[in-house]
Amino acid sequence: MQYHFELKNKTILVTGASSGIGKEIALNISQSGGHVIITGRDKARLRKTFNILFGEDHSFHVADLSVDSELIALIDQLPLLDGIVHAAGITSHIPAKFINSKNINETFDINFNAPVLLMKQLLLKKLLNNSASIVFLSSIASKYPYFGGALYSASKLAIEGYSRTLALELAPKKIRANCLSPAMVQTPMLERTEETISKESLERLKVMHPLGLGLPEDVANAAVFLLSDAARWITGQNIILGGF
């Protein structure tokens, strides 16, 4: 495969890099010449990502981003950044009548609060270079509901709204903020979803994809584009992936 977008000399933080989409994004950034700082909770899997990165000057930090002290400890170790990809996230499959406050907190803590609080610290500590690019992982679920997906959809819609406002606030420094909203991508998250919903529901969802299910690299290609200077006039947008 040819890589068209250059990330040479850019330092980029990728959350959720121990699995699935975040892992592939970290790999693609390194293949495009960037330096990656990867983070996730599972040390062994994070190290596996680290070991497949191309080039040099990468680093990894284990952190549960829903724990304030671990988020701050990560921030304290960061250099100046040219980009961030907020890929860490969880799904939730709970019918509306069974949702409780613990479920709400669990979903929002990582899908919304963590990226928002991470951005707050990066901005307060002036850790973003001018012209940096911020990419949030939203989901097609924010537009197309699925049974039991109320919390997941709401958390993704929330991050889309946040991203649009952030884009406006950071535009004077030419810092861009955008969301990617993939349809279903073949990752461990999807494998876990397959265990919790019926075969019929899953088939119904799959046939909605005109180009079939996505691969992590399909999302990584879009992320690398948004991180690159080729996307310098794109901000406050939400790019839907998967043909919806």
Ligand X SMILES: NC(=O)c1ccc[n+]([C@@H]2O[C@H](COP(=O)([O-])OP(=O)(O)OC[C@H]3O[C@@H](n4cnc5c(N)ncnc54)[C@H](OP(=O)(O)O)[C@@H]3O)[C@@H](O)[C@H]2O)c1
Contact 40, 19 (CB under 8 A): yes
CB of 62 to ligand X, least distance (A): 8
Tokens coding 154: 């709401």
* Among the listed residues 190, 205, 215, 239, the single contact to ligand X using CB under 6 A: 190
Question: Could you give phi then psi for residue 129, rounded to 5 degrees?
Answer: -70, 155
Q: Rounded to whole angstroms, how far apart are CA atoms 103 and 120?
A: 24
> Smaller CB distance to ligand X: residue 20 or 83?
20
Interacting positions 142-181 with ligand X (CB under 6 A): none
By the rule CB under 6 A, 185 interacts with ligand X: yes
Question: Which of 17-25, 125-133, 162-170, 196-204 is the region at the interface with ligand X (rule: CB under 6 A)?
Answer: 17-25
By the rule CB under 6 A, 68 interacts with ligand X: no
Q: Among this protein's residues, is 152 annotated catalytic?
A: yes
3-state secondary structure 131-177: EEEEEEECCHHHCCCCCCCHHHHHHHHHHHHHHHHHHHHHHHHCCEE
* Among the listed residues 20, 83, 115, 149, the single contact to ligand X using CB under 6 A: 20
Taking only Cα atoms into account, the Rg of the chain, rounded to an integer number of angstroms, comes to 17
Distance in Å from the first CA to the final CA of the chain: 25
CB of 82 to ligand X, least distance (A): 21
* Among the listed residues 187, 221, 228, 235, the single contact to ligand X using CB under 6 A: 187
Q: Rounded to whole angstroms, how far apart are CA atoms 55 and 67?
A: 31
Q: What residues are annotated to the active site?
A: 152
Residues found near ligand X in the complex (CB under 6 A): 16, 18-22, 40-42, 45, 64-66, 87-90, 110, 137, 139, 182, 184-185, 187-190
